Amino acid sequence: MTAVAALEAAPSRQDLPALPTVQLGGLPVTVIDRQGAARLMLAAARQHRHGSRPYYFTSVNGEVIAQARAKSEIAALFREADQIFADGQPLVLASRLLCRTRLPERVATTDLFHDVAKLAENEAATFYLLGSTEAGNAKAVAAIKASYPRLRIVGHSHGYLTGEALEKKLEEIDALAPDILWLGLGVPREQIFVRDFGSRLSNV
């Protein structure tokens, strides 16, 4: 899963901490733990400036590394991210064997989402959830609202949109201006979505 948090272009990005990375499978993976990743996402949201592309977080596991090694276009999509998290314990183990700096722990999106949601409840940060089928999306939203009743979900939609429906959805998301847009579209659809439409979500 990919997350997009609104943040101004290069000058404001310098306000976020410069984080070390390790090269795994040719991709720069951020050296950070789950709580640090959650705080970083909320910091990006707090520094939001309207009118520029969102700050872009994604994650990789062994399967994604294999895809990126096999297809240069997949690797290029991931290199466009501002941060890449290690969504897989094998990457943590690989860093201990192959890298001078070790990854502290696995930052799985399925866990990270809950870390961010807990912080977002306290900071009044808003979410939009885009992905899955209509039924799957509705079920996920219901479960999230039950677990985090103070979390502000400003909108949600299934991820099977094309043509005019997609155009209207992009306009809707930008108008609602969520602090964090969560994408559950799968690899590489999430990364392609950010590449193709990120610049149109300047108010996210």
Cα 173 to Cα 192: distance, rounded to the nearest angstrom: 17
By three-state DSSP, how is residue 101 classified?
coil
Cα 68 to Cα 95: distance, rounded to the nearest angstrom: 18
Q: Is the pLDDT of residue 61 over 70?
A: yes
Mean pLDDT for the chain overall: 93
Structure tokens at 73: 């276009």
**What is the DSSP secondary structure assignment for residue 81, as one 8-state letter?**
S
Cα 148 to Cα 157: distance, rounded to the nearest angstrom: 19
Total of domains in the chain: 1
Supply the Cα-derived Rg of the chain in whole angstroms.
Answer: 16
Q: What is the pLDDT of residues 10-58, one digit of tens each?
A: 334 546 778 999 999 999 999 999 999 999 999 998 887 778 889 999 9
Q: Is the pLDDT of residue 93 over 70?
A: yes
Residue 188 is part of which domain span? 2-200
Other CB atoms within a 10 A radius of the CB of residue 120 amount to 23
